[in-house]
Amino acid sequence: MNKPAEIFVKKYQAPQLFWCRWLLPLFIALLLLSFSMSWLMQSQTGRLPSHGGLTRNAYAQPEPQQISSPGQSFSTYFPADRLSRCLNMELVIAIDVGHTPKASGVKSARGISEYQFNLRLAKRLLKRLHKQGFHQAFLLTANNPGMGLLERAFQAKRQHADLLLSIHHDSAQLQYFSQWQYRGRTLPYSDHFKGHSLFFSGKNAKAEQSLHFARLLGDELLSLELSPTLHHAEAIKGENRPLVDREKGIYQFDNLILLKNAEMPAVLLEAGVIVNREEEMKLNQPQYQYLLIAAVERALLRFAHVPCQ
């Protein structure tokens, strides 16, 4: 190649080679990234929070299925905005915050009152339910945190509640406690037990429906790989509760005042054992709290489901 021709090639082909080798692949990569981000944002609609590598789609199928019996497995979930005709979104849900600011329940392994755990979880649950379309859900003690148990049952009736869910956090019997040093304080703890538990009263006016909702909630907790504690069935003083469903951690406790006197289906959820040092840390994590809330939300969607016409 003569000298002028060589100069021509370098002058006019070099930019084209630069474009082909570098700019064009970069442009394609940016375009693919843009599409990927758009798809990811859309696919997150209706997903549950990640927990320990677990990311679950809350609403797996677009078409409804009917529940033929309370114990039947039902693994399809529905977004309220898409299938509102099949859901009773006017369900009035009373959320009870266990204990009061003065009678605050058990102390956690790090000295935090149970009431604080209960209030935080109940408020986050209420916010989530409102966002999902259960606008009739309410905190039972919102205007009177010190309300007594009988008054709570009457208040739920006055507000026409269709379902009552009482939020608590759990402990253990004294013989299982030890002591440890935490931030200069000597505090009691018990690492013997961990996990959630569910209670209903056989003396509740709608005991069968209470057990039905307890089974739904227990099923959803299991589906999110959360295991129940069985220590309330131990034949010792302060425990010895009839274990109705071992797999789901459901107990019958007939004389729980709020559950017994409520005139609507009522269930008590012990969200976890806060005297267990490791479990207390998990229960303090928003990610874990939202996992519990997701289970309640799913159970409520199943409880509120009505056959589509």
* Residue in 263, 271, 297 with CA at minimum distance from that of residue 105: 271
Please write the tens of the pLDDT for every residue from 59-93. 333 333 333 333 333 334 444 444 444 788 999 99
Q: Tokens 């729980």 correspond to what residue? A: 256
| Residues 93 and 138: beta-carbon distance below 8 Å | yes
C-alpha atoms less than 13 angstroms from C-alpha of 36 in its C-beta half-sphere? 6
Give the domain CATH number at 280: 3.40.630.40
Q: Residue 69: exposed, middle, or buried by beta-carbon count in 10 A (0-12, 13-18, 19+)?
A: exposed
Cα 303-305-309 angle, rounded to 5 deg: 160
Q: What are the φ and ψ backbone dihedral angles of 294, each rounded to 5 degrees?
A: -60, -40
What CA–CA distance (Å, rounded) separates 62 from 83?
9
Residue 62 resides in a domain: no
- In sequence order, the 6+-apart residues with CB closer than 8 A to the CB of 27 are none
Residue 297 resides in a domain: yes
What CA–CA distance (Å, rounded) separates 255 from 1?
102
Tokens of 14: 């070099």
Residue 92 resides in a domain: yes
Q: What is the pTM of this model?
A: 0.74
Which H, E and C letters describe the chain, residue by residue? CCHHHHHHHHHHHHHHHHHHHHHHHHHHHHHHHHHHHHHHHHHCCCECCCECCECCECCCCCCCCCCCCCCCCCCCCCCCCCCHHHECCCCCEEEEECCCCCCCCCECCCCCEHHHHHHHHHHHHHHHHHHCCCCCCEECCCCCCCCCHHHHHHHHHHCCCCEEEEEEEECCCHHHCEEEEECCEEEEECCCCCCEEEEECCCCCCHHHHHHHHHHHHHHHHHCCCCECCHHHCCCCCCCCCEEECCCCEEECCCCHHHHHCCCCEEEEEEEECCCHHHHHHHCCHHHHHHHHHHHHHHHHHHCECCCC
What CA–CA distance (Å, rounded) separates 237 from 246?
20
Residues 30, 112, single domain; the answer is: no
By residue range, what is the domain housing residue 33? 1-43
Residue 77 resides in a domain: no
Residues 15, 141, single domain; the answer is: no
Residue 126 resides in a domain: yes
Residue 187 resides in a domain: yes
Residue 181 resides in a domain: yes
Residues 141, 14, single domain; the answer is: no
Helices 286-303 & 114-131 angle (0-180, nearest 10): 50
- Please tell me the predicted confidence (pLDDT) of residue 109: 98
Residues 21, 121, single domain; the answer is: no
Residue 76 resides in a domain: no
Q: Residue 40: exposed, middle, or buried by beta-carbon count in 10 A (0-12, 13-18, 19+)?
A: exposed
What CA–CA distance (Å, rounded) separates 52 from 153?
38
What CA–CA distance (Å, rounded) separates 177 from 168?
20
Tokens of 191: 């690492």
Q: Give the count of domains, the chain.
A: 2
What CA–CA distance (Å, rounded) separates 123 from 293?
10
Predicted confidence pLDDT, tens digits, the chain (309 residues): 555 545 544 555 555 555 556 666 666 777 666 655 655 554 444 434 333 333 333 333 333 333 333 333 333 444 444 444 478 899 999 999 999 999 999 999 999 999 999 999 999 999 999 999 999 999 999 999 999 999 999 999 999 999 999 999 999 999 999 999 999 999 999 999 999 999 999 999 999 999 999 999 999 999 999 999 999 999 999 999 999 999 999 999 999 999 999 999 999 999 999 999 999 999 999 999 999 999 999 999 999 987 665
Which residue(s) pair with 269 in the sheet? 167, 198
Residues 97, 242, single domain; the answer is: yes
Residues 106, 218, single domain; the answer is: yes
Residues 34, 90, single domain; the answer is: no
Residues 36, 124, single domain; the answer is: no
